[in-house]
Amino acid sequence: MNLSLELMAPEIIVLATGFLILISDLFQKSKNENKASSILAIVGIMLAACSGLFLTDAPKETLGGRFGLDQLDLILKEILLLSAGLVIMISPAAMKEKSEQKITHFSEFFTVILFTLSGMMFLVSSRDLVTLYVSLELATIPLFALTAWTKTDKSGEAGVKYLIMGAIGSAFLLYGLGFIYSITGDLGLKAIQTTLTASQLTNPSLYLAGALILAGVGFKLTLFPFHMWAPDAYQGAPTPITAFLSVASKGTGLILAIQLLLKVMGFLLQPFVFGIAILATLTMTLGNLVAVRQNNLKRFMAYSSISQAGYLLMGFMTTKPEGLTAMVFYMLVYALTNLAAFGVLIVHIHQTGQEDITSLRGISKANPLLALSLMIALFGLAGIPPLAGFVGKFFLFSIAAQVGYYWLVAVAALNSTVSLYYYLRLVRQMYIEPENPQSQKLQISPMSILGLGIATVGSVVAGLIPYIYDGILATSSQWLQVWLKI
């Protein structure tokens, strides 16, 4: 067997860094000293990201075809590395704090984040059903632990809720995978796809499998009606984890969808398009309408991210390269924008100990740059030009128009208006409402500033420079040619 491990370099580096942090923790004086481990984690992630750049002569396969790597995989991995890196940069702000959700044991905390990250990266590269499922569990199980990290009632409750719902989601997915195996008798994605395409199966169980997999994906992407875990998990989890969850879970969902729905069953998409449109409509509408009434910042972000998933789903309505590109691009933009928002919220929540949206009052006077950063992020999430959030949404909406679903464009655009209403509620608290007399100057470490700065600037610039979109488009049209022969 040809074992070319260099294809796995990014994953190996990430895992090695995880273990290294765990060991280095033994030599540290205080359990709460986090500087060394966070720097170590970031260096590891940067190394992994750089090593990815040397693998651009993909596509290649190893481990007997169970692990593959192509250009699109690389792009997805770089996005994941970037998000995880940003989370690690902004999370130490949760160290010194008033909030009951103080995070302890930072070294283990980073280690677990890195394990999740490696799971997601393996997921991207897995080329058969077993590897895929195992990587998925590697990506999700640490998230349950992270959610329950602070050992408070709320955090524990959130962790258990997330665990149960996540397990149900996995069960759905596994059931679907079982159907696929029983129909085709094969485990390799390529083989399954060839069998399915060649036989032009119209077996009803195939549609059932598609629906079950969609449900499994729905749990990860927080699609209606599988979104219920998100608000509780977001609220209960320590804020850095909420930030990581909001990106990691969506990323996992998107990767799963690309791997299974697009790669393996892409030719089956046509009859599902209407259903996807309905699902997108319900998800974004529900997320938006409920977010209007939220007063807890983290719950608010949860519903906002549910509605974002609704927009993201619009990219699945076609097998043309524009659809895939729009989704991957939006994932990048969403990660940057959401992490910029969370970067501010982590500092705010953990230093004031307040999670209510009214606690943001006066932040624009005491901390003008933080407020500006949050405002840009919120406008980005609402899709206001010239921010990247707008460009990303524009491409997604364009997919719906491309397949002739003009009503969906209208629904989505009106939903954006609703979402603008609640994002402006936050802006209003920050800028317009009379100041909170207790509002204080928030302390922020250089590392957090850097992370926040990258996220904020990224969320502006990604929409102005065309190269990112063009690059993803070229890659994904190539990818679709290879996999779907389109």
Partner 1 sequence: MGILSLLIFIPFFTAMGVVFAPSPKSVRWVSLIGTGIHLILTFFVTIEYFNLASADSQLAIQQLSTKLYMVEKFDWFKSFGIQYYLGVDGISMSMVVLTSIIIFTGVLASWNVENRSKEFFALLLVLVTGVFGVFLSFDLFLFFMFYEVAVLPMYLLIGIWGTGPKEYSAMKLTLMLMVGSALLLVGILALFHASGLHTFDLIQLANVKFPKDFQNWVFPTIFIGFGILGALYPFHTWSPDGHASAPTAVSMLHAGVLMKLGGYGALRIAVYLLPEGAKEWGLFFMGLTTINILYGSLGAIKQKDLKYFTAYSSVSHCGMVLFGVATLNLMGFKGAVLQMFSHGIMTGLFFGLIGMVYGRTHTRIIPEMGGLVKVMPWLGVAFYIGGLASLGLPSLSGFVAESQIFMGGFFGNQWHSVTAMRVLTVLSTMSIVVTAVYVLRGLGTVFLGPIQDKHHEELTDATFTEKLTTGILIFTMFVVGIYPRVLVDMIEPAIYPILNRLNM
Check residue 479 for interaction with partner 1 (CB under 8 A).
Answer: no
Cβ contacts of residue 118 below 8 Å, gap of 6+? Answer: 11, 14, 15, 18, 138
Q: Binding marks (x or -) toward partner 1, 328..367, rule CB under 8 A?
A: ----------------------------------------
Q: Is 409 in the site for partner 1 (CB under 8 A)?
A: yes
Provide the β-strand partners of residue 62: 67
155, 143 contact by CB (below 8 A): no
- Should residue 278 be labelled a site residue for partner 1 when binding is judged by CB under 8 A? no
Residue 222: CB minimum distance to partner 1, A? 24
Site string (23-52) toward partner 1, x via CB under 8 A:
------------------------------
Residue 465 Cβ, how far from partner 1 at the closest point, in Å? 9
Shortest CB 322 distance to partner 1, Å: 8
Residue 274 lies near partner 1 (rule: CB under 8 A): no
Residue 316 sits in the site that holds partner 1 (CB under 8 A) = no
Residues numbered 364-403 forming contacts with partner 1, rule: CB under 8 A: 379, 384-386, 390-391, 394-395, 397-398, 401-402
The site map against partner 1 for 420-439 (x = CB under 8 A) is xx--x--xx--xx-------
Minimum CB distance to partner 1 smaller for 270 or for 417: 417
Does residue 293 touch partner 1 according to CB under 8 A? Answer: no
CA-to-CA distance for 239 and 349, rounded, in angstroms?
8
Residue 60's SS3 state is strand
- Rounded Cα gap, residues 286 and 415, in angstroms: 10
Tokens of 475: 């890659």
Pairing of strands 60-62, 67-69: antiparallel
Instruction: Return d(Cα 99, Cα 103) in angstroms, integer.
Output: 10
d(CA 400, CA 382): 18
Spatial CA neighbour of 337 closest among 456, 463, 466: 456
Give the nearest distance from C-beta 325 to partner 1 in angstroms.
Answer: 8
Contacts of 108 (CB under 8 A, 6+ apart): 22, 25
- Nearer to partner 1 by Cβ, of 54 and 421: the residue is 421
178 near partner 1, rule: CB under 8 A: no
Give the ranges where 314-367 is alpha helix by DSSP (H).
Answer: 321-352, 363-366
Structure tokens at 424: 């402006």
Inter-residue contact 313 to 276 (CB < 8 Å):
yes
Instruction: Tell me the closest approach of the beta carbon of residue 415 to partner 1, in angstroms.
Output: 9
Any idea what DSSP says for residue 128? B
Judged by CB under 8 A, the number of residues near partner 1 is: 31
Q: How far is the CB of 436 from partner 1 (least distance, A)?
A: 16
- If the CB atoms of residues 22 and 384 are measured against partner 1, the closer one turns out to be 384
Among 194, 205, 295, 417, binds partner 1 (CB under 8 A): 417
Q: Which is nearer to partner 1, 81 or 284 (CB)?
A: 284
Q: 291 near 419, Cβ under 8 Å?
A: yes
d(Cα 12, Cα 485) in Å, to the nearest integer?
32
Q: What is the DSSP letter of 268?
A: G
Residues lying near partner 1 in the complex (CB under 8 A): 379, 384-386, 390-391, 394-395, 397-398, 401-402, 406, 409-410, 413-414, 416-417, 420-421, 424, 427-428, 431-432, 466, 469-470, 473-474
